[in-house]
Amino acid sequence: MNGQQPIFILPEGTLRNVGKNAQRTNIAAAKAVGDTVRTTLGPKGMDKMLVDSIGDIVITNDGVTILDEMEIEHPAAKMMVEVAKTQEEAVGDGTTTAVIFGAELLKKAEELLDQNIHPTIITKGFKIAKEEALRVLNEGICIDIGKNSDDVLRKIAMTAMTGKSAEKASQHLANLAVEAVNMIKDEESVDQENIKLEKKQGGGIEDTELIKGVVIDKEVVHGGMPKKVENAKIALIDSALEVKETETDAKISITSPEQLEAFLAQEEKMLKGMVDKIVKSGANVVFCQKGIDDTAQYYLAKHKIMAARRVKKSDMEALARATGAKIVTNLDDLTEDSLGYAKIVEEKKIAGEEMIFVRDCKSPKSVSILIRGGTEHVVDEAERAMRDAIGGIIAALENRKVVAGGGAVEVELSKRLKDFAQKYSGREQLAILAFADALEVVPRTLAENAGLDPIDALTNLRAAHDKGKETYGLDVFTGDVIDMWESGVIEPLKIKTQAIKSGSEAAEMILRIDDVVNAGKLEKGGSPSMPPGGGMGGMPPM
């Protein structure tokens, strides 16, 4: 207007989205992520089929798997994917709950933004509500479980598997999960890494078994070795049973057949010496992390010693924890004291492939579950269900606190937060009430996915909770409001606390963004590398 030149502070081709437009775009992207996984929640949730660029298929209703496979591009949507990943790493279950709660919070925040309430006030209200919700969860709603709580743990495992394809065998799988956790737990904690899940298609899910030891996807190296060893004394060797090359560059000149024969004889003598050390220790089973020379294989077979080579480091560590063996890096250190014990070590053919089973260890601190199923996709989904169940059990054992499922805890929390909001006046109260409403997304979604009327379901749930029935939730099979504790729908407290923490923190962070600068230069074709409000891979633009 006054003749001044416009000032450009960003390079040409930079895309910028500011103010309410940026907030709405981010909220829309996050809501789209929530809508993607929403239909998978609960016992009546549906599955998603994900097909990648080379045609590989994943069929699942596991929230974090769906979002991971989708290769989402939008930055705000990626933050919601991080919510699912954090939930998976921290607890192992509840990923869908965390994502849909975060998305619902943003949906409620958008309504407040429409009323010209500043994002800072909304995030402040959300923070107050989150702290109160966590306090109520830890002090008022949760139920303490005692030391002998296997029955409750089984119910937690079955609740985690409900709605997955492994559900038909959930009783059997839950028993295996509880037994496995009980074997490896100590007074301090339980490390999920000590339960190895090995999967092989063939048979049915009910053929899944717990091995009190380790299953290794390897075969015995020599046909002359025994395929089954009872009362096995196991040596774990982290060095090659081969003649090593010299450290320095060296050249050996052989000028006659006699010299060659002497050289080969010396090499054989060295390999025989290695095997003699193993025989002297009393070992009758050898697991080697590196290679085993053909000559060494022959001598081991001659002494009726079973051996497997190139065993993964993680499997070697699992074998050490299961059998009590020490991993030795120098054969001179191999003594009877460094051997482990298993009642049976045997090679078996499973689904056309040889596997070695190390069974019935004395007090294994590492166990394996061999998961079976009719097809590859069924086995994969059964493995995810088993991970969720084991994660749920471990989360419950961490602080020995659980809550009722079926939307009961969310409705009770919502009710208490609405009462709590009355202490505040002004706009923060609206944000706390919005947080309370957002919690009800879980029972509402459970009802929608079961084909029930969500309004009727929520009304009946609120009525039950107004009468003090704190553990009453929605039975999606009958549509009735029943006591979830009595019907065995139980979840670890940690699933709910982590979902509320990660969901609300992601929502608060997205709300505080009012400027999105995409520094990607325009490509030759004239279109930016990413649209400013952009859609996500596999989704229409917002």
Catalytic amino acids? 62, 95-96, 388
379: left (phi over 0), alpha (psi -120 to 50) or beta: alpha
| Residue 391 to residue 62: CA distance in whole angstroms | 14
The H or E element that residue 276 is part of is helix 257-281
Single-letter amino acid, residue 330: N
Q: How far apart are CA 158 and CA 136, in angstroms?
A: 26
**Helix, strand or coil for residue 214?**
strand
Cα atoms found within 13 Å of the Cα of residue 250, Cβ hemisphere only = 6
Q: How many CA atoms lie within 13 A of 413 on its CB side?
A: 34
DSSP SS3 for 285: strand
Q: How many beta carbons lie within 10 A of that of residue 178, not counting itself?
A: 22
- Let me know: does 42 contact 407? Beta carbons within 8 Å: no
Tell me which H or E stretch contains 233: strand 228-237
Which residues, 6+ apart, have CB-to-CB distance to 370 below 8 Å? Answer: 198, 199, 200, 208, 209, 211, 215, 350
Q: Are 209 and 370 in contact (CB under 8 A)?
A: yes
Find the angle CA(71)-CA(74)-CA(76) to the nearest 5 degrees. Answer: 120
Q: What is the CA radius of gyration of the chain?
A: 30
List the alpha helices (DSSP H) in 422-487.
427-439, 441-449, 454-466, 484-487
Structure tokens of 536? 């996500």
Q: Give which of 461, 397, 458, 404 is closest to 189, Cα–Cα.
A: 397
Question: Which alpha helices (DSSP H) does 147-228 contain, by range?
Answer: 150-161, 170-184
Q: In this structure, are residues 503 and 90 in contact, taking their beta carbons and an 8 Å threshold?
A: no
CB atoms within 10 A of CB 205: 23
Which ranges of 119-169 would DSSP assign to H, the alpha helix? 119-136, 150-161
Distance CA 299, CA 374 (A): 41
Q: Which residue has the tokens 């749930």?
A: 461
Residue 114: how many other CB atoms lie within 10 Å: 10
